[in-house]
A = this chain, B = another copy of it.
Amino acid sequence: MADAYEEIRTWDQFRLRQSIRNGDYTAHTAGLARGTLQTNVAIMSAEHALDFMRFCQRNPKPCPLVGVSDTGNPMMFTLGADIDIRRDIPAYNIYRNGILDAEQPDITDLWQDDFVAFALGCSFTFERALQAAAIPLWHIDNNTTVPMFRTNIETIAAGPFHGKTVVSLRMIDPSDVDRVVKISKNYPLAHGAPLHIGDPGQIGITDLSQPEWGDPVSIKGDKVPVFWACGVTPQVAIEAAKLPIFITHKPGHMLITDVHEQAEVPNHTTNPNQHGETS
């Protein structure tokens, strides 16, 4: 299995998505198709889509919108030449009235003519940049899921979408904090700069050893807790809205796009290095 995973890590996004579409690859996507933007996904009726876009616009750090489908069209044509949002994610969660109802490897049978699919940037992008800068990330080095916490920071509501901001935690060496801020700020489509640095109590977190999602970290020495806005925030807001049906990716099982992860604009037809990368 480890060998198979090593081989899959060498696949490009086209080969990987084909394998996902065929139903062969059904696991998480961390570390795969390096260099391409991976995204969270939320699918809902057009009736709620304007409010959800407002929610994303108003809360861009937890909800960096990188793509939206036309109503009823499952092809995410701005993110790739051949991305079918009904089939190209390794696993889907189906919610009914705000409650997780089922998990499926394909949602072709559930697709509706009034569905709109949203793709939101995720932390994989800035984590890769931090790793490239030799910043240790405990959860990756220890093969666990990043710890996530509900804060006391209200999102700005839009229609039925509302709730507290969820953050992810990374423990950073004090000497690296400035660099971590500077690097992650370069990725506004992947949560950008940290939302909070230091005292967890200031944002309503009482116990760092008890994350609400993900795994606790066990770190020795003098590290600083650094919190980033997290893609679980829109998930919680959609659950709170109790839509009759909405569909997301299964956590960690992301949409893999054709967009370069350093692209200034999340559009696969734009060459990210043509302009704006000269210095």
**Contact bitstring A167-197, B, C-beta under 8 A = 1, else 0:** 0000000000111011001001000111111
Q: Which residues of B contact A278 (CB under 8 A)?
A: 177-178, 181
Q: Which residues of B contact A58 (CB under 8 A)?
A: 68, 78, 267
Bound Cα distance A161, B75 (Å): 19
* Contact of B68 with A267 in the complex, beta carbons under 8 Å: no
Q: Which residues of B contact A78 (CB under 8 A)?
A: 58, 156
Q: Which residues of B contact A159 (CB under 8 A)?
A: 70
**Contact bitstring A237-279, B, C-beta under 8 A = 1, else 0:** 0000000000000000000000000001101000000011011
Q: Which residues of B contact A264 (CB under 8 A)?
A: 61, 185, 188, 192-193
* Contact of B276 with A181 in the complex, beta carbons under 8 Å: yes
Bound Cα distance A49, B181 (Å): 35
Q: Which residues of B contact A46 (CB under 8 A)?
A: 50
* Cβ-based interface call for A65 (8 A): yes
CB distance from A202 to the nearest CB of B (A): 11
**Contact bitstring A70-111, B, C-beta under 8 A = 1, else 0:** 110000001000000000000000000000000000000000
* Cβ-based interface call for A205 (8 A): no
With A57-B68, A67-B57 given, is the CB distance from A275 to B181 under 8 Å?
Answer: yes
Bound Cα distance A68, B52 (Å): 12
Bound Cα distance A276, B185 (Å): 6
* Contact of A182 with B57 in the complex, beta carbons under 8 Å: no
**Contact bitstring A112-142, B, C-beta under 8 A = 1, else 0:** 0000100000000000000000000000000
Which residues of A pack against B, CB within 8 Å? Answer: 46, 49-50, 53-54, 57-58, 60-61, 65, 67-68, 70-71, 78, 116, 156, 158-159, 177-179, 181-182, 185, 188, 192-197, 264-265, 267, 275-276, 278-279
Given contacts A50-B116, A70-B158, 13 further A-B contacts (CB under 8 A): A49-B50, A50-B53, A50-B71, A53-B54, A54-B70, A57-B65, A58-B68, A61-B265, A182-B279, A188-B188, A192-B264, A195-B275, A197-B275
What are 5 residue pairs bridging A and B, where the CB atoms are less than 8 Å apart in the complex?
A50-B53, A53-B57, A58-B78, A194-B275, A195-B275
